[in-house]
Amino acid sequence: MPQGFFGKYHSIILYGLSLGALLVLMKWLEWRFIIIDYAFEIYAGLIALLFTGLGIWLALKLAQPKTITIEKQVLVANTEFVFDENCLNQLGMSRRELEVLQLMADGLSNQQIAEKLFVSLNTIKTHSSKVFEKLEVQRRTQAVEKAKRLSLIP
Amino acid sequence: MPQGFFGKYHSIILYGLSLGALLVLMKWLEWRFIIIDYAFEIYAGLIALLFTGLGIWLALKLAQPKTITIEKQVLVANTEFVFDENCLNQLGMSRRELEVLQLMADGLSNQQIAEKLFVSLNTIKTHSSKVFEKLEVQRRTQAVEKAKRLSLIP
DNA sequence: ACCAAAATCACCCTAAAGTATGAGGGCTTT
DNA sequence: AAAGCCCTCATACTTTAGGGTGATTTTGGT
């Protein structure tokens, strides 16, 4: 702010300085040639100047800065994955179905998923079918692709 | 410049005019009614108050708002995809095989890939088998997953 | 022009995936 | 208590995927 301050408010500062210079000049003239009749006006001017400056200073100091949020797009290789539960509910997907979907995305076969979850192959088939329905896809590769797009899985 | 001058510095001009007007007013008041001992102090206080307010107003009007720029990082899905040709050659993957792999990643069935590439289903099967060999996987879901990890496909 | 790699296709077979339907038990909501 | 959802499992069937082998044609490079 130090150098920016003069840059931004140089008009006001110059105004102040010139007014001050003018007053000094007038005072000098007054002293030189004129009787001090206008002392009051001069003082008033000085006070006005001073407190104008004070007001400006106050305003600049106390003004709460406006925050401008600039969204900077950053390409991140692998972002922290935030699970979109809203989307999950919206699709009506159950926990178990999501679990199966995740394992599907890991490239496991239905048989492997069944073993991993200690259920039968048929159960996994049922789950995967429902997942395909809810994701409106026909194949597991499509399901995985779509689930990733919807942030259901990393 | 004439109207531009006023446009740029009208605040300053108004300030000057109002200062002058105030002085005249006070002088007039002084003449008219009051001879008080502490007239000067009162006037000075009024002036200080008034011009402090004026300064504040000026600062708020003229100063471009103090801004705090917050750069919010927006995570953008890896738009720029840099294809790793080295890896491709290292694996001994051919163009056509990569093409099949890409379509596989889009969730297409072998039949759909065959239609899209104007070749027979058996050809696609041959290609996909070779892809699986070279990627050392057993299923297409695994192939897609690994290919993405290796930056062979977006 | 030749060789190697790539691309194409076919056939057969098995495994896996996917569809459809039904059914029973557990849980929550109404 | 009934309704509804979820999870489970089964059976039967169709489709797709994948492995293996072999063959022909294109293509790219020395």
The string of pLDDT tens digits covering residues A6-61 is: 444 555 555 456 555 555 565 555 555 555 566 566 666 666 777 777 776 777 76
Q: Helix or strand or coil: residue B79?
A: coil
Burial B92-107 (b: 16+ CB within 10 A, else e): ebeebbbebbbbbbeb
Return d(Cα B47, Cα A52) in angstroms, integer. Answer: 10
Beta bridge partners of B73: A72
Residues A125, A95 contacting (CB under 8 angstroms)? no
Does the pLDDT of residue A143 top 80, yes or no? yes
A50 touches chain B (CB under 8 A): yes
**Whose CA is closest to B18, among A21, A48, A53?**
A48
Q: Which two tokens stand for residue B64?
A: 């471009």
**Residues 115-134 of chain B whose Cβ lies under 8 A from any Cβ of chain A:** none
Q: Which of B58, B102, B108, B109 to mutate to test the interface with A (most CBs of A within 10 A)?
A: B58
pLDDT at position B131: 95
Return d(Cα A60, Cα B55) in angstroms, integer. Answer: 10
Residue B127's CB is within 10 A of a number of other CB atoms, namely 24
Q: Can you give the distance from the CA of residue A76 to the C1' of nucleotide C5 in angstroms? A: 38
pLDDT at position B71: 67
Task: Please give the residue that has the higher pLDDT: either A29 or A152.
Answer: A152
pTM (whole model) above 0.75: no
